[in-house]
């Protein structure tokens, strides 16, 4: 999914982190590597090197450097929720009570641990989070919102938008 991001992001532990740090210097080879990997993260190093026009050892060193500098945050499998029986996807906007802002990280960890949740985005604006979920159907989605979100005393409001279709942007690297 193309991520919706603000000036803040959430790290793996659920802590909001500032992502406005100075951009990492990238040359044309780095950007070419990123485009290929964004389109197909399983590209073997030899094929990646050939695609970007460098030696395999140079390519491997470049990829390692991109990982160490945090430019590449990870390599992921794009699993189709429908193949697992979760045909219904939704984005749920969640607004928190004022007192809950003191423990955002705990809320992110709790949400991210739920089996229905695919992604949690910490956002700016009227809402605090967007939660991308996949469920087997409308009854399961209603139960998720009612039991996991609306019963939480930290949650002030939710708004659910169904996702009819999702198209992943392939190989797009900003800049």
Q: Provide the domain limits for residue 28.
A: 23-77
- pLDDT tens across 90-132, in order? 999 999 999 988 888 999 999 999 999 999 999 999 999 999 9
pLDDT for the residue 102 = 85
Query: Which is higher by pLDDT, 77 or 32?
Result: 32
pLDDT for the residue 153 = 94
Taking residues 162-171, report their average pLDDT. Answer: 83
Is residue 152 included in any domain, yes or no? yes
pLDDT for the residue 168 = 78
Q: Judge if 93 and 71 occupy the same domain.
A: no
Is residue 155 included in any domain, yes or no? yes
pLDDT for the residue 169 = 74
Q: How confident is the model at residue 24 (pLDDT cuts 50, 70, 90)?
A: confident
Average pLDDT, the chain: 87
Residue 154 above 80 pLDDT? yes
Is residue 173 included in any domain, yes or no? no
Total domains present in the chain: 2
pLDDT for the residue 167 = 83
Q: Domain boundary residue among 77, 106, 139? A: 77
Q: Which of 41, 42, 46, 39 is nearest to 60 (CA)?
A: 46
Residue 15 above 50 pLDDT? no
**Rounded to an integer, what distance in angstroms lies between the CA atom of residue 113 and that of residue 107?**
10
The percent of the chain in helix, strand and coil, each rounded to the nearest 5, is 35, 20, 40
HEC letters along 96-159: ECHHHHHHHHHHHHHHHHCCCEEEEEECCCCCCEEEEEEECCHHHHHHHHHHHHCCCCCEEEEE
pLDDT for the residue 54 = 97
**Rounded to an integer, what distance in angstroms lies between the CA atom of residue 129 and that of residue 106?**
13
Q: Judge if 159 and 103 occupy the same domain.
A: yes
Q: Judge if 153 and 95 occupy the same domain.
A: yes
pLDDT for the residue 22 = 60
Question: Among residues of the chain, what percentage have pLDDT more than 90?
Answer: 70
pLDDT for the residue 19 = 46
Q: Judge if 31 and 102 occupy the same domain.
A: no
């Amino acid at each position: 999914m193309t991520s919706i991001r603000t000036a803040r992001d959430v790290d793996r532990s659920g802590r909001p982190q500032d992502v406005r740090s100075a951009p990492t210097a990238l040359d044309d080879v780095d950007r070419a590597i990123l485009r290929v990997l964004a389109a197909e993260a399983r590209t073997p190093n030899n094929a990646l090197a050939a695609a970007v026009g460098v030696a395999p050892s140079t390519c491997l060193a470049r990829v390692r450097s991109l990982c160490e500098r945090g430019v590449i945050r990870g390599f992921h499998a794009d699993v189709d929720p429908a193949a697992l029986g979760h045909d219904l996807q939704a984005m749920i906007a969640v607004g928190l009570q004022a007192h809950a802002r003191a423990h955002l990280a705990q809320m992110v960890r709790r949400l991210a641990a739920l089996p229905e949740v695919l992604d949690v985005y910490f956002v700016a604006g009227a809402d605090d989070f967007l939660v991308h979920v996949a469920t087997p159907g409308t009854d399961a989605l209603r139960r998720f919102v009612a039991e996991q979100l609306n019963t939480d005393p930290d949650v002030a409001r939710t708004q659910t938008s169904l996702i009819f279709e999702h198209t992943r942007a392939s190989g797009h690297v900003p800049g």
